[in-house]
Amino acid sequence: MMVQSNLTILVVDAEYTTRQVLTEYLRQAGYNVVSAANGQSALKIFTQCHLALVVLDVMMPELDGWEVLRDLRERSDVPVLMLTGFADDADQLIGFELGADDYVTKPFSPRQVVSRVRAILRRTTAEKSKPLVCGPLSFDPTTRAVAVNNRPVSLTVREYNLLHIFIANQGRVFTRRELLNRCWDQDNYVGDRVVDVHIASQRRKLGRKRLITTAHGIGYRLERA
């Protein structure tokens, strides 16, 4: 089934043939596709493109799929479909714990990969379209509307992005460095203090300091309602 899409997918695999075959099948399915032969190139492309999903091989020289996945999860919640030559459940469990969305075991059918990609994108698109709620706080990713007790709140782009991270991961503590990696340009150095300034501004605008709390010596979290 052909889909009309402007979604871009990154295919990362050390094997040229695998990259070419998956690129062709995904393009036939209607997706834009970019590819990388190693982890370093993949991370560089990630900073340059707006990606809908990453297809990521585990076994790569120098920087393997696990390391790439760890780096991606420090910066983004982009969906990741892992390709692995290991059928061991314990191996796959590692990937899920690191934040992988699904697995395909080699050897695989390219059609199977396309099917998994479609399923992940359907699920994540549906999740992103739902308003997120935490007590009196509501957050609509589709309209970018934020409100507290139905009172609209105006946020800057970075304040909005920070809040999106918090409300999508309620209760999880994020270090200042993780927040910097996700919300600030990596080419321009900024200190950890800039995160504190933006959090303080968020708290003033939301009018509820206990929504975003400080984990002393670590970072910040959005408390579960």
For residue 3, is it within any domain? no
Domain boundary among 128, 153, 181: 128
Q: Is the pLDDT of residue 62 over 60?
A: yes
Containing 148, the helix (H) or strand (E) segment is: strand 145-148
For residue 170, is it within any domain? yes
- Verify that 37 and 120 share a domain, yes or no: yes
Give pLDDT, residue 168.
84
- Verify that 170 and 157 share a domain, yes or no: yes
This prediction has a pTM of 0.64
Q: Is the pLDDT of residue 3 over 60?
A: no
pLDDT digits (tens, 9 = 90+) for 202-225: 999 998 667 899 988 889 999 876
Give pLDDT, residue 101.
87
Q: How confident is the model at residue 187 (pLDDT cuts 50, 70, 90)?
A: very low
DSSP-assigned letter for residue 133: E
Strand partners for 53: 9
Average pLDDT over residues 182-207: 78
CATH number of the domain encompassing residue 88: 3.40.50.2300
Strand partners for 221: 213
Q: What is the mean pLDDT of the chain?
A: 85
- Verify that 100 and 85 share a domain, yes or no: yes
Whole-angstrom Cα distance, residue 109 to residue 138?
42
Domain boundary among 128, 160, 191: 128
Give pLDDT, residue 189.
57
Phi and psi at residue 184, to the nearest 5°: -125, 150
Strand partners for 102: 81
Tell which wins on pLDDT, 216 or 90.
216
- Verify that 49 and 24 share a domain, yes or no: yes
Give pLDDT, residue 4.
45
- Verify that 46 and 157 share a domain, yes or no: no
Alpha helices in 29-103 (DSSP H): 39-48, 65-75, 89-98
* Counted domains in the chain: 2
- Verify that 46 and 69 share a domain, yes or no: yes
Give the structural domain span for 110. 8-128
